[in-house]
Structure 1
């Protein structure tokens, strides 16, 4: 099997999603940093791989795949014999629901609004936009509660095996849990809090998300 190359900065949540799958599959891969902050993703060379200038991008066997929702199912088939997608159709649907909630309703308030304003902006000498943070708490809570209603968390989101949904949510929790708003957003989601206490100790999580 040809070793794949993952393009993207290690700090990216979606790069981490891809890497968590590869680590759990025991697959060898190369990580090629692409600096999203210096404009490297907008270079002609990178835009030839990903026309929207985002990360991650996967190269394997002379082919390029972009968008995490396309990359992870491919890697799951090629490197993990489909073990990270449930075999039962309803569980597959729940997995995809959770992933869609993360992408459409959780990422923006939890990461773009709360984490960046509460942690990243001050670390660079800026001042937190408290109004933006306050306005993001309710949407984050709604998304958390929606995931809580679909998940079983015994111990993983959909049962006793990791799925693509876990790989999508773990990097969000890594960052979101570093903010004081995390406690408020998860106050009504005890299953997710239990899930986080379990998955945060996985060796793959400690390696990829350190």
Structure 2
């Protein structure tokens, strides 16, 4: 009976994968948009990317706010349904289209995955992307001068966050072992930008596992395609 159920579930999942019309709304440069797209690429799911330019305020247009009242990216549209917030999107996609492939089956590793994601959201992203990357990469592009004090003050919080991830990561070769997980999809886009700053060396100086992880992760074809 269990085998029959699993077979039926597999057939249903495959049909859903083929029949569903998926649209990802967001800025291609956004780390969170890239998180969702990496999962979709690794799951071999067809989707359409609808660019929403956060730099020109397109995310605050009435049309977009009708889909996501907070004006953030990404937003996922599945046929007539809309899902926003990256954790909700990745959980949904992983369940419906990837048969939980990107979530460990072992409860402790599941908890570790959610730990890493939460550390990234609450502690690493704000300092690494919200301050260091913005000041080093975005501000100069717009003709401004980086705020060195802001950058200096962001280094210690970024170090603390990445060292916390280092302490619980397996990194053999991926964050939680031999299989990619949603946690990898969260961290990869941040490293893509952080390595372009001089602060990367200081921040990751005491995270050898994550340096090794990064050497492997950046070779993935999905990463080359989405984060080039």
Which TM-score band (shorter chain)? Answer: over 0.9
1:37 Cα deviation (Å)? 1.3
| Residue among 36, 42, 55 paired with 1:37 | 55
Cα RMSD (Å): 0.6
- Paired positions, count: 210
In the alignment, is residue 152 of structure 1 matched against residue 170 of structure 2? Answer: yes
Tell me which of 23, 27, 49 is aligned to 1:5. Answer: 23
Deviation at 1:112, TM superposition (A): 1.1
The unaligned stretches of length 5 or more in structure 2 are: 1-18
Question: Structure 2: how far apart are the matches of 1:93 and 1:113?
Answer: 28
Per-residue deviation, 1:3: 2.5
- Matching residue of 2:220: 202
Say yes or no: does 1:108 pair with 2:154.
Answer: no
**TM-score under structure 1 normalisation?**
0.99
Q: Tell me the CA shift for residue 79 of structure 1.
A: 1.1
CA drift at 1:68: 0.1
Residues 111-136 of structure 1: CA deviation (Å, up to 9, x unaligned): 11101111111122110100000000
* Secondary structure of residue in 1 paired with 2:209: helix
Residue 141 of structure 2 is matched in structure 1 by 123
Could you tell me the TM-score, scaled by structure 2's length?
Answer: 0.91
Q: Which runs of 5+ in 1 are unaligned?
A: none
Moved more, 151-160 or 39-48: 39-48
Of residues 94, 105, 111 in structure 2, which corresponds to 1:87?
A: 105
Q: Report the Cα distance in structure 1 between the residues aligned to 2:186 and 2:44, rounded to whole angstroms.
A: 18
Higher Rg of the two aligned structures? 2
